[in-house]
Structures are given as C-alpha cells and as structure tokens.
Amino acid sequence: MTNLIFPTNLTGKLLFHTYISYSDKSSQLHLYDFKTQELIQLSQDNWNVIDPMNAIFTPDGKWIIFMGVINESWHLFMYELGTGSKPVNLTEKLDGINYEDPKISRDGKCVYFKQDGGIYRAWLEYKNGKPELINPISITKFNPSIEYSMPFPSSNEQFIYYVLGSGGGELGIYRVNIATGEEIVFDDEKDVGAYYPIVRKDGMVFYSKWKGEQNRFDQIKMKKLPEETAISLGFNELKSDNSDPWPVDDSNYIFFCSTREGNYQIYLGEISTGQSVNLKMLGLNNHQELNYLAPCYFQET
C-alpha cells in the first residue's frame, strides 16, 4: 500500500507519552509542534510526578490534563504550556484514592475521569489563575465486581462513552445518557474485547477491538450508532496491534498507534483510502526501545 503523504494543513500540536514497558515507571510526556517541527519532552524531574501519561489538551490549547502517580496513588494534573511552571494537582483535595483517564468537555467546563472503578464528572474552575476541580459526581452505577474506565463525552455531552470490564478481563464499550442515567451497549461482543472510545465532533466513535476471539490483535473500528455494524479501517495491519485512535475533527485523518514495526509507534491514517504514514519521518518514533502511545491532537486556528 502506498504511504500517505503527510498533509500540509495539519499545523497543530500532538501530545503523546513514551515508556519502555507499562508500569515500569518510565513514562514521559512529549509534545510535537507541526508548525515549528519542534519535539520537546514536557515532563521534568522537578514535577515529582511518576509515570505521567494519557494527556489531553484543554479546548483553548493552553493547558494539558494528564494522569500520574504521586504518593503511590494516581492523580489528575494540569500543566500550563509554555510557562515552565509545575503541574497543578487537581485531585489532591478530593476524597478518592485513584484518579485516571481524564477527558474534558468541548466547552472546557467539565472533566470526566475514572475514580476507584467508576466514572465521574467534576467542574473545572480557575481561581486566581489556578485550576481546580469541584463538585465531583458519579455518573455510573456502583458495582464492586465491574470496573468502568476510559470515559469520553459526546460533542453535545448528552452521552458518555466508557469501557466496562468484568473480573474475567472482558472489555466492552457502553454509553450512558447523562440526563436519564440510561446505560446501553455500544459494542460488547462475547470474548472479543473493545476499548478506548474517542468521539469525533460529528459523533463518529472510534475505538480498538480485537480482530476475533482467537486473534487478539487490536484493530481500529468506527461507527456512530449502537445498532450499526462497526467498520474496520483500511490501514489496520492484521498481524499487529492497532490502537489509541485520535481522529482529527472536520477531516479525513486519524492518529493511531501500531506495533507493525516493532514496539508501538505513532502513525497518521487517512480514513477514506486506508493509507497511513509512520511519523518517524517527522522525528518521532526514533527510539526503538520505547513505546509511543496515546496521541492527542490540537489544531490551532
């Protein structure tokens, strides 16, 4: 398949993290600026945050929100880009133990996250320029035998998509109506895991799903409605893992990760043609011992 030529209209910024292996405490956050072609490591030793990962931009692109470990617990942090200041611990004063998988509403007013096995929403406020989370509420039902994770809000915040996992490790994607609390299945096929839902502005949901019960290579799928049959995207490589999709709003492009050349590396794919390109041509993916994961793109206007 012909490699995709990197589009000149993608002039924003890309967040991602790297580590040697999961839970080895080596994770670091990075930012690539497509306009200046500059790649920098954001996380620093003086942050005193272990394993910073899964970062997202605020809607204005001025801050990032990420998860990391401090005092042996996962917390959520905000860091103001370009300031050199240290991250603010958003969950330091809240009552839970572990806070993970942060996502933010498109208006920047709410943060969604996993807390101790459930999905929560809290309001984001700035006091004297410093962000803080207030009034966290649970938006999923408590069940000690089931873990909720990886929340992502729809564009109008009518729904929250999330992953539900049983004690046996099976994963499926569900959707909850925030106003009514009604939960329905979005994609949960027996013995075939589905996870990491990301919702494009037009409502299309992208996620990873095993190719089959006996073939557990991750493939990136997309569909808009629960009753639809998911489409497998043409750039999936059938004998490697393809995951962590991040679609670019108002475009035909999607960033994703794949193990087709060894460890996880970041690619850009074109949805309509199935073509893709490895971002090592931009200076990423150049350390073979590292895994490059969780891309998040911000398009500057």
pLDDT digit string (tens) for 237-278?
989 999 999 999 999 999 999 999 999 999 999 999 999 999
Give the bridge partners for 103, in sequence order. 112
The dihedral built from the CA positions of residue 254, 153, 68 and 134, taken in this order, carries a sign that is: positive
Query: Would you state the pLDDT for residue 301?
Result: 75
Average pLDDT over residues 66-74: 95
Query: Would you state the pLDDT for residue 84?
Result: 84
Query: Would you state the pLDDT for residue 216?
Result: 82
Query: Would you state the pLDDT for residue 32?
Result: 98
Backbone angles phi, psi at 47, to 5 degrees: -70, -30
Query: Would you state the pLDDT for residue 154?
Result: 96
Quote the pTM value. Answer: 0.95
Candidates 45, 51, 43; CA nearest to 71 is: 51
- Amino acid of residue 199: V
Average pLDDT over residues 172-197: 93
Distance CA 104, CA 111 (A): 4
Query: Would you state the pLDDT for residue 145?
Result: 76
State yes or no: pLDDT of 168 exceeds 60. no
State yes or no: pLDDT of 55 exceeds 80. yes
Over the chain, what is the mean pLDDT? 93
Confidence of residue 165 (pLDDT cuts 50, 70, 90): confident
Query: Would you state the pLDDT for residue 175?
Result: 96
